[in-house]
Amino acid sequence: MTSFRLAIIDDYQQVASDYAPWDSLLDDGVKVSVFSAPFVSEEQAVAALAPFDIIVAMRERTRFPRRVLESLTNLKLLVTTGMANAAIDLEAASERGVLVSGTGGSPAAAPEMTWALLLAFARNLVMEENSLRAGDWQTAVGFELEGKTLGIVGLGKIGKRIAGYAKAFGMDVLAWSQNLAAEAAEEAGARKVTKEELFRESDVVTLHLRLSDRTEGIVGSEELRLLGPEGVLINTARGPLVDEAALIRALEEGWIRGAAMDVFDEEPLPAGHALLHSSRTVLSPHIGYVTHESYRQFYGGAFEDVKAWLEGAPIRALND
């Protein structure tokens, strides 16, 4: 029987085995290894993963640019959770003869996380819980969402759900993206505006764009100043959509009321990072997709991808 080595990487919570029967792959001649700690560099990732024929990656936790893929000479199958992964160079994978397969995912996890962060920020939940545990009682005053204006940058599948949540909370909804049509915005319960208008008129702006050369740094000093001293920025999409240096300055100098974030330029967020010390933030460690429902689809789908490839009938291929 042909023998393969499979690496499940970035299993931070050490739960991959709870969502798929990986041990059963021994019957197919596959030895499975699990890596729970993040790789601190590309060199460390290459050194650890060089022996493996199959890698199961969790979202963009580990990057696979051309230089990494060219160093993984044994790699034949790379499975990513989800059906898109900006951290994988698909062209380089194809040139190396590496098949990249994806999985399904939960449509509810990320938008629910977005709304959780917004509510936590609006009602000072983190601050109030910490003060309560310290023996204090009612130390801050929150704000309500009803009657406020929500600006959505990127009205795709997630953005449309967010628009629905906002309408249910009695908010007015604005939307903008480079290719957004007025009719599509109206169908989602939003009003299409210019980027400048969105940041100037919104009380809260939430980002729901894919990261690309066109969208990197799409929120910078100009947009943050337009958002104003009472404005709130929510980012559960990708950290580099926001100019981090500009955001830190905005928080320190009070250009905006604050930010609630689940994603960062560097992940895990380094100890001592300026965002960790800002009193104007609510932060979470990129857990927008970390739910039982999502993991069942991610790890279950990854297992299906591996089995299909072993049987010579690959599924959900993302490259040629």
User: Hey, which bits of the chain come out as E strands?
Assistant: 4-8, 30-34, 54-57, 77-80, 99-101, 149-153, 172-176, 191-192, 204-207, 232-235, 258-261, 281-283
Contact 21, 299 (CB under 8 A): no
Measured from the Cβ of residue 303, the count of other Cβ atoms closer than 10 Å reads: 21
Q: Which of 161, 208, 257, 286 is catalytic?
A: 286
Model pLDDT, residue 313: 97
Residue 209's Cα: distance from chain center in Å?
A: 10
pLDDT tier at 193 (50, 70, 90 boundaries)? very high
Q: Which residues pair with 172 in a beta bridge?
A: 149
CA-nearest of 107, 50, 54 to 79 is 54
Model pLDDT, residue 2: 67
Q: Report the amino acid identity of residue 7.
A: A
Model pLDDT, residue 155: 98
For the entire predicted model, the pTM comes to: 0.94
Contacts of 237 (CB under 8 A, 6+ apart): 154, 158, 207, 208, 209, 210, 211, 263
Q: Give me the sign of the Cα torsion angle 221, 226, 229, 235.
A: negative
Contact 1, 26 (CB under 8 A): no
Helices and strands: H and E segment counts in the chain: 12, 12
pLDDT tier at 219 (50, 70, 90 boundaries)? very high
Give the three-class secondary structure for 139: coil
Per the prediction, the chain carries an average pLDDT of 97
Q: Which of 70, 267, 296, 316 is catalytic?
A: 267
Q: Is 70 marked active-site?
A: no
Q: Which of 59, 161, 208, 238 is catalytic?
A: 238
Q: Report CA dihedral (213, 219, 220, 222) to the nearest 10 degrees.
A: 130
Q: Is 208 marked active-site?
A: no
CA angle centred on 16, ends 13 and 18, rounded to 5°: 100
Model pLDDT, residue 303: 98
Q: In the predicted model, is pLDDT for residue 46 greater than 70?
A: yes
Give the three-class secondary structure for 229: coil
Contacts of 179 (CB under 8 A, 6+ apart): none
Task: Provide the token pair at 295.
Answer: 């993991």
Give the pairing of strands 172-176 and 149-153: parallel
Distance CA 30, CA 146 (A): 55
Q: What is the mean pLDDT of residues 109-122?
A: 98
Share of the chain above pLDDT 70, in %: 99
Q: In the predicted model, is pLDDT for residue 151 greater than 90?
A: yes
Burial category of 160 from C-beta neighbours within 10 Å (exposed 0-12, middle 13-18, buried 19 and up): buried
Model pLDDT, residue 320: 80
Model pLDDT, residue 1: 60
Give the pairing of strands 204-207 and 149-153: parallel
Q: Is 286 marked active-site?
A: yes
Distance CA 92, CA 219 (A): 30
Q: Report the amino acid identity of residue 210.
A: R
Residue 91's Cα: distance from chain center in Å?
A: 23
CA-nearest of 262, 290, 267, 286 to 19 is 290
Distances (CA, A) of 132 to 27, 123, 137, 144, 201: 53, 14, 6, 21, 35
Per the listing, tokens 């609630």 go with 260
